[in-house]
Amino acid sequence: MFHNFFIPPGFIFTHSSHLSGRRGVLLKKISMPFFHLNIEIEFDFQLVGITCHEKDYRLAWALNRAMQWGFEKCDDIITDTSGTAFPRFVYRCQEDETVHWLCANRSGIDFLVPEIPHYDYLLKIENMGEESGDDFYRELRTVPLVIAAYPIIVDKLKSKQNLVWS
C-alpha cells in the first residue's frame, strides 16, 4: 500500500529491506553537483555625463539642432530595484553606424547611476571611433542648454549593469 508522498528535491526513494528485517521505503539524500554561471558583460561604449537643468525633451531638441542629430523618444528604462522609469531617446547614425542614447540619470529622488548624481543626463554612444576625442566633447559643451559634459569611465561604476540596454 503506497501513499502519495512529496519527494523534496535532492532526495530519492530506496528500499530498506536490508535494515533490521523490515520492509519499507526510505528517503535517501543524494548529492547534486552545483554549477555557477559567471557572465562577464563587455561594456564597449562611451559614456558622457551631461549637466543640464532643462527637461529631457528640450535637451534632446537642443542636441538635435546643434549637433545635427535626430533623437527620437523611445521606451523608458525601468529599473529592477525600484521600478523607477527613466526617459530615454535614441539616434542611429546611418553614416558611421553609431548609436546615441540620451537617458535621464535622475527620476524623482532615484538615480539610474547613483555613483554620479551630479550628472542630470547620460549620453551612451555605441560604435564611436577613437578619433572623436576632445573635439567631440568641446563641440558638445557648446550646445546652449549643456552646462557641462565630461567622459565617464564605465568600468569604475558599481551600477554599470543599469547601462546595459538596447
- On whether residue 66 sits in a domain, the answer given is yes
Low-confidence ranges of the chain (pLDDT < 50): none
- On whether residue 3 sits in a domain, the answer given is no
The total number of structural domains in the chain stands at 1
pTM above threshold 0.95:
no
Q: pLDDT tens digit string along 8-40?
A: 666 666 665 555 555 556 656 666 677 777 776
Please name which of 144, 121, 69, 74 lies closest in space to residue 100, comparing C-alpha atoms. Answer: 69
- On whether residue 158 sits in a domain, the answer given is yes
What are 54's three cell numbers?
532643462
Structural contact between residues 52 and 120, judged by C-beta atoms closer than 8 angstroms = yes
The backbone region for 142, taken as left when phi is positive above 0, alpha when psi lies in -120 to 50, beta otherwise, is alpha
With H, G, I as helix, E, B as strand and everything else as coil, classify residue 51. strand
- On whether residue 99 sits in a domain, the answer given is yes
Containing structural domain, residue 79? 45-163
pLDDT of residue 127: 87
